[in-house]
Amino acid sequence: MSCDGTPIDALFERNVAPYYWNRDIPQDRALNMPRTLLIDAGDEHSRVRACDIAGPAGVRHLELQWRSTTRARGIALRGAADGRVVPQLGLREIGGVWFLSFPSFDYQSGADVERFRAFLGEIAAHAAALRNASRIVIDVRDNRGGVSAWGLTAAGYIWGEELVQAVSASLPGDVDWRVSPANYVHLGEFLKYAVANGLPAGDIAEITTVHRQMGEALAKGQRLTRELSPVIPLGRLPPSQLKGSVYFLTDGVCTSACLDFADVVLRLPTWCR
């Protein structure tokens, strides 16, 4: 409710909102609220001594005991405090309903790529059952993006690859990349990493093109370079292989490749919620 006599909302506005919260994304406020009691090194002046906390038994006055922790541990604690449920990557069937959980598309290291490829193999092996199921739940809670091709590949096993690619190609996808020496170097390093770890060929081709364009733009002194993604209008759609209903389960952190995935799934011919 309050700390050192200051309402918790006021503490958030003073110590967190100016640095972390994007007001254009209202739902992001709750996800950043735990930062109010997580202090970075050098910001010790913003520590509070005691807080009034409301619970089932009423309001309790608690003296705080601060302790140091690693940044990774701090991130994990903040995630646990915001109350979100993070599903495990996997496929399962419960009472005739199939659940496909995609907590991330950010699988880039060799081991993570193999783990996600194994998951895709599991989806492919159950493709017939999925296509004939009465209900499917696609769970992308906590998914903050990554490699777009992962989601499209999974959708192809469910709806049919030809249909998924047609819908994806009909969506606008031009991107303006900021040109700088550091960005150029970063893209080059990521490209080597992507090739070494076997990321999808489409993503490797995309980054190869952008890296080349950025190098050319850098030589010309341009500030931006545009990655073009020609839109192919939808004509007669290939038939959908899916017979049942799809429920798309997400939260307030779906961004980047997760939103790309949502854009496609929500346009596929099925009953989606």
Query: What does the pLDDT look like over 75-86, one tens digit per residue?
Result: 788 877 877 778
pLDDT in tens, 117-169: 999 999 999 999 999 999 999 999 989 888 888 999 999 999 999 999 999 99
Token pair 């919260």 is at which residue?
21
Question: Which sign, positive or negative, has the C-alpha torsion 112, 115, 117, 119?
Answer: negative
Q: Look at residue 192 and tell me whether its pLDDT is greater than 70.
A: yes
- Mean pLDDT of the residues in the chain: 90
Distance CA 109, CA 123 (A): 21
Average of per-residue pLDDT across 28-55: 89
Structure tokens at 220: 């010309």
pLDDT given for residue 230 in this prediction: 85
Token pair 């096993």 is at which residue?
157
Instruction: Identify the three-state secondary structure at position 26.
Output: coil
pLDDT in tens, 202-255: 788 889 999 999 999 999 999 999 998 888 888 888 888 998 999 999 987 888
Instruction: Provide the 8-state DSSP code for 83.
Output: T
- Burial of 170-189, coded b for 16+ CB within 10 Å and e otherwise, reads eeeeeeebebeeebbeebee
Q: Domains in the chain and their CATH numbers?
A: 2-81 (no CATH), 90-171+233-265 (3.90.226.10), 175-227 (no CATH)
84 contacts 253 by C-beta, under 8 angstroms: yes
What residue ranges in 32-110 does DSSP mark as E strands? 50-55, 58-63, 90-94, 97-101
